[in-house]
């Protein structure tokens, strides 16, 4: 029998092998990430594992996929449900970027701490907003809807096995093997010729729309390893001659604690794809849609911490707009960000915890002062007095602005958007309805994890023998 976490770990590993064959630069990225992680571990020792054991971090991946219809999203949710992954967070990228991004997204991931520790695999999943008139006029929408209705991303055998795995939380070996085979195949790049005219018509609106609605199947867009020093990784990839995008998204490099998520990517590579012309002839073309991305994860921020993060991003934008000349934008922006951070962000984990900006779990220290003195009542006093130790909770989610930056930096054309029209409403409830499963709120998940640890404290601090 394979339980859900074993299915999830096996799926992630097989997907990684497949993507390494499809996109060899990804394999390089994985190698360099592993080297950087080993070097960081050697240099920093146990401290390097503060935000996850080296075995978790080395195996950790997130993937990105894109689907066209609510029905396809529901089916994807069944496949991920089989792997113990639930939809968490809602990301509306339509307004975030200069380029046209006609999508809304969620991320499928395990939510329980022990499940995350066993295999934290997650998939950023985007749904094309076909009914948004800013991107698709009535004619294109009708053609797109008809095209999407005529394709099948996930076959009945795969979905039946998925439902069984989700209901029984495990599959017998032979069924597990079949399920994994079909699930990985569903995300393989298709060799079926692409209708060149149709693809181009969608590309005029958005390259992302073409990647989703211009082909008859879906594919993994990227698979992202986790690295402990993303600046060092960036340097080493550049040294190897791999062209990276010009920035690292997310918080700047600085001397304080790592928070949230930092990400960067290498540019989409031209991949050979068969294209069909109107006369039916098929030729070898090339498309640039798939890329490599890498991430470094930090401490999850509370709602207040996240609001501060968002304010600082705006502050960095404003100051950068003042100070930066056209040529050295990326480096200058990073310098501005670092100085804004230094002025406004707590420089230590303790400061993050004390200000209620970061998520931690709290644990009684076994050899706490044993002189019979009574512990203080407040969390701050307990921490300062050495009664409690705070362990950071790792951020398991994504950032809308970074995601938009990742999408956008890999688009060569801006596409088009008719901003004069009213956008159609897509929100977390609409996605929940489409999937028949609730999109979970990431803050609530972190709060619960913290609160569960706090609930243990009074008992753990009670003097021995007292009742």
User: At its nearest, how many Å lie between ligand OOG and the CB of residue 72?
Assistant: 14
Q: Which stretch binds ligand OOG (CB under 6 A): 307-315, 372-380, 398-406, 431-439?
A: 398-406
Give residues 50-69 in contact with Ni ion (rule: CB under 5 A): 64
Contact yes or no for 67/127 (Cβ under 8 A): yes
User: At its nearest, how many Å lie between ligand OOG and the CB of residue 130?
Assistant: 16
Give residues 193-252 in contact with ligand OOG (rule: CB under 6 A): 221
Interface residue with ligand OOG, options 187, 266, 395, 407 (CB under 6 A): 407
Rounded to whole angstroms, how far apart are CA atoms 209 and 84? 29
* Residue nearer to ligand OOG on the CB measure, 227 or 390: 227
| Helix 24-44 / helix 230-239 crossing angle, nearest 10 deg | 130
Q: 126 contacts which partner out of ligand OOG, Ni ion, none, CB within 5 to 8 A by kind?
A: ligand OOG
Q: Which stretch binds ligand OOG (CB under 6 A): 8-16, 152-160, 395-403, 413-421?
A: 395-403
Spell out the SS3 assignment of the chain. CEEHHHHHHHHHHHHHHHHHHHCHHHHHHHHHHHHHHHHHHHHHHHHHHCCCCHHHHHHCEEEEEEECCHHHHHHHHHHHHHCCCEEEEEEECCCCCCCCCCEEEEEEECCCHHHHHHCCCEEEEEEECCCCCCCCCHHHHHHHHHHHHCCCCCCHHHHHHHHHHHHHCEECHHHHHHHHHHHHHCCCCCCCCEEHHHHHHHHHHCHHHHHHHCCCCCCCCEEEEECCCHHHHHHHHHHCCCCECCCCECCCCCCCCCECEEEEEECCCEEEEEEECCCCCEEEEEEECCCEEEEEECECECHHHHHHHHHHHHHHHHHHHHHCCCCCHHHHHHHHHHHHHHHHCCCCHHHHHHCCCECEEEEECCCCCCCCCCCCCCHHHHHHCCCEEEEECECCCCCHHHHHHHHHHCCCCCCCCCCCCCCCCCCHHHHHHHHCCCCECHHHHHHHHHHHHHHHHHHHHCCCCCC
User: At its nearest, how many Å lie between ligand OOG and the CB of residue 402?
Assistant: 5
Give residues 227-246 in contact with Ni ion (rule: CB under 5 A): none
Q: 268 contacts which partner out of ligand OOG, Ni ion, none, CB within 5 to 8 A by kind?
A: none
* Residue nearer to ligand OOG on the CB measure, 2 or 202: 202
User: At its nearest, how many Å lie between ligand OOG and the CB of residue 13?
Assistant: 19
Interface residue with ligand OOG, options 398, 415, 445, 446 (CB under 6 A): 398
The 288-307 contact track toward Ni ion, x by CB under 5 A, reads -----x--------------
Rounded to whole angstroms, how far apart are CA atoms 466 and 309? 44
* Residue nearer to Ni ion on the CB measure, 64 or 289: 64
For residue 122, state whether it binds ligand OOG (rule: CB under 6 A): no
User: At its nearest, how many Å lie between Ni ion and the CB of residue 285?
Assistant: 25
Give residues 420-459 in contact with ligand OOG (rule: CB under 6 A): none
User: At its nearest, how many Å lie between ligand OOG and the CB of residue 398?
Assistant: 5
Q: How far is CA 177 from CA 25, 67, 77, 172, 418, in A?
A: 28, 25, 20, 9, 47
Q: Shortest CA distance to 250 belongs to which of 220, 293, 289?
A: 293
For residue 402, state whether it binds ligand OOG (rule: CB under 6 A): yes
Interface residue with ligand OOG, options 25, 32, 64, 215 (CB under 6 A): 64
Measured from each CB, the residue nearest to ligand OOG is 403
User: At its nearest, how many Å lie between Ni ion and the CB of residue 406?
Assistant: 6
User: At its nearest, how many Å lie between ligand OOG and the CB of residue 401?
Assistant: 9
* Residue nearer to ligand OOG on the CB measure, 18 or 388: 18
For residue 406, state whether it binds ligand OOG (rule: CB under 6 A): yes
* Residue nearer to ligand OOG on the CB measure, 334 or 406: 406
Q: Which stretch binds ligand OOG (CB under 6 A): 251-259, 329-337, 360-368, 402-410?
A: 402-410
For residue 340, state whether it binds Ni ion (rule: CB under 5 A): no
For residue 263, state whether it binds ligand OOG (rule: CB under 6 A): yes
User: At its nearest, how many Å lie between ligand OOG and the CB of residue 125?
Assistant: 8
Give residues 12-31 in contact with ligand OOG (rule: CB under 6 A): none
Give residues 88-107 in contact with ligand OOG (rule: CB under 6 A): none
State the pairing for strand pair 122-128/103-109.
antiparallel
User: At its nearest, how many Å lie between ligand OOG and the CB of residue 210?
Assistant: 13
User: At its nearest, how many Å lie between ligand OOG and the CB of residue 256?
Assistant: 23
Rounded to whole angstroms, how far apart are CA atoms 107 and 126? 8
Torsion of CA 459, 462, 463, 465, to 10 degrees: -50
**Which residues are at the interface with Ni ion (CB under 5 A)?**
64, 224, 293
Residues of this chain that interact with ligand OOG (CB under 6 A) are 64, 66, 124, 126, 221, 263, 293, 398, 402-403, 406-407
């Amino acid at each position: 029998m394979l339980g859900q976490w074993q299915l999830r770990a096996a799926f992630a590993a097989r997907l990684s092998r497949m993507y390494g064959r499809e996109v060899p630069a990804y394999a390089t990225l994985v190698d360099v990430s592993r080297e950087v992680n080993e070097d960081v571990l050697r240099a920093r020792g146990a401290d390097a594992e503060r935000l996850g054991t080296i075995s978790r971090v080395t195996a950790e991946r997130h993937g990105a996929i894109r689907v066209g219809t609510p029905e396809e999203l529901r089916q994807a949710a069944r496949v991920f449900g089989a792997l113990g992954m639930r939809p968490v967070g809602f990301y509306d990228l339509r307004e975030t970027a200069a380029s046209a991004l006609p999508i809304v997204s969620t991320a499928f991931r395990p939510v329980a701490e022990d499940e995350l520790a066993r295999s934290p695999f997650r998939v950023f999943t985007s749904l094309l907003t076909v009914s948004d008139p800013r991107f698709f006029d009535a004619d294109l929408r009708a053609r797109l809807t008809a095209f999407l209705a005529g394709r099948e991303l996930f076959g009945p055998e795969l979905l039946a096995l998925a439902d069984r795995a989700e209901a029984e939380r495990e599959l017998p070996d032979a069924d597990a093997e079949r399920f994994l085979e079909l699930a990985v195949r569903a995300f393989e790049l298709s060799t079926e010729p692409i209708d060149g005219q149709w693809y181009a018509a969608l590309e005029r609106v958005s390259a992302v729309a073409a990647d989703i609605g211009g082909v008859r199947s879906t594919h993994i867009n990227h698979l992202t390893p986790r690295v402990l020093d993303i600046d060092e990784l960036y340097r080493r990839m550049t040294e190897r001659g791999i062209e990276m995008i010009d920035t690292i998204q997310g918080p700047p490099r600085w001397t304080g604690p790592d928070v949230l998520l930092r990400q960067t990517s290498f540019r989409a590579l031209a991949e050979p794809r068969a294209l069909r012309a109107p006369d039916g002839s098929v030729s070898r073309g090339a498309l640039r849609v798939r890329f490599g991305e890498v991430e470094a994860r930090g401490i999850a921020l509370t709602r207040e911490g996240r609001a501060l993060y968002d304010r600082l991003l705006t502050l960095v934008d404003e100051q950068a707009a003042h100070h930066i000349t056209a040529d050295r934008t990326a480096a200058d922006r990073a310098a501005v960000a670092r100085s804004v951070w230094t002025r406004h962000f707590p420089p230590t984990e303790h400061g993050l915890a004390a200000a209620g900006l970061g998520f931690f779990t709290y644990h009684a220290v076994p050899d706490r002062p044993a002189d019979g003195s009574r512990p203080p009542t407040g969390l701050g006093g307990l921490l300062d007095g050495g009664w409690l130790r705070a362990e950071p909770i790792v951020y398991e989610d994504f950032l809308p602005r970074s995601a938009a930056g990742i999408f956008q930096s890999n688009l060569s054309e801006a596409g088009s958007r008719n901003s004069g029209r009213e956008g159609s409403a897509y929100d977390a409830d609409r996605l929940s309805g489409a999937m028949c499963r609730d999109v979970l709120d990431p803050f609530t998940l972190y709060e619960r994890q913290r609160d569960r640890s706090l609930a243990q404290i009074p008992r753990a601090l009670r003097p021995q023998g007292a009742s």
